[in-house]
Amino acid sequence: MALNLIMLGPPGAGKGTQAERFARENGIPKISTGDILREAFRAGTPLGLQAKAIMDRGELVSDDVMIGIVRERIDRADCIPGFILDGFPRTVAQAAALDAIMSGRDALTVVDIVVPEVELVRRLASRLICGSCGLNAEGNGAVSGTCQRCGGELKQRVDDSEGVVLERLKVYHRNTEPLIEYYRARPTFRSIDGTQPPDRVAAALAAAVRSVANQGSAA
């Protein structure tokens, strides 16, 4: 059975960090629309420049662009054992499109990382990101100012400035929070506490995924 996982949660909840760790430990690809778009930014493609301008304003890239990117990625051979989606879906329309893409495949496990808004604002205002590879910096890496993965320079994301952070959270509440209600009734949906230290969040994520798998085995 393929391990198909969606990570949900607001900006600053730690989705990217946890998704990368889970993917590495379970041998499945992490599919991040942010990573794909950053590649387009660096290449200077028309789509990349257009998407960068939208994201720098704290807004969301259009559904049709995101759906097309994800469909192509999921169809690759390395996703046969499963995958983890980070940053998609972000709207109910994207979720419905993903359900159509997943028709005939193993079910999606959906995990929501819950973090209070006051903590999100604090995290985002102090977050650093590698200007070369896009890695979010944590711990000693953030203190040193150098990326632990590629050695690049760390800097604040344009969309982590205070005004844009507040706009991003407004966009999340308006467009993305309804996803929780879209998925909540499914037996494969779980919520975990994202205010814990990263190792405990990782353990909670692994336990949530196991509980869904055990539930499927029992059925």
30 carries an active-site annotation = no
- Which of the residues 15, 21, 52, 123 is marked catalytic? 15
127 carries an active-site annotation = yes
168 carries an active-site annotation = yes
- Which of the residues 52, 90, 123, 190 is marked catalytic? 90
149 carries an active-site annotation = no
Indicate the Cα dihedral angle 182, 187, 31, 120, nearest 10°: 60
186 carries an active-site annotation = no
- Which of the residues 21, 73, 168, 190 is marked catalytic? 168
Q: Which residues carry out catalysis?
A: 15, 90, 127, 157, 168
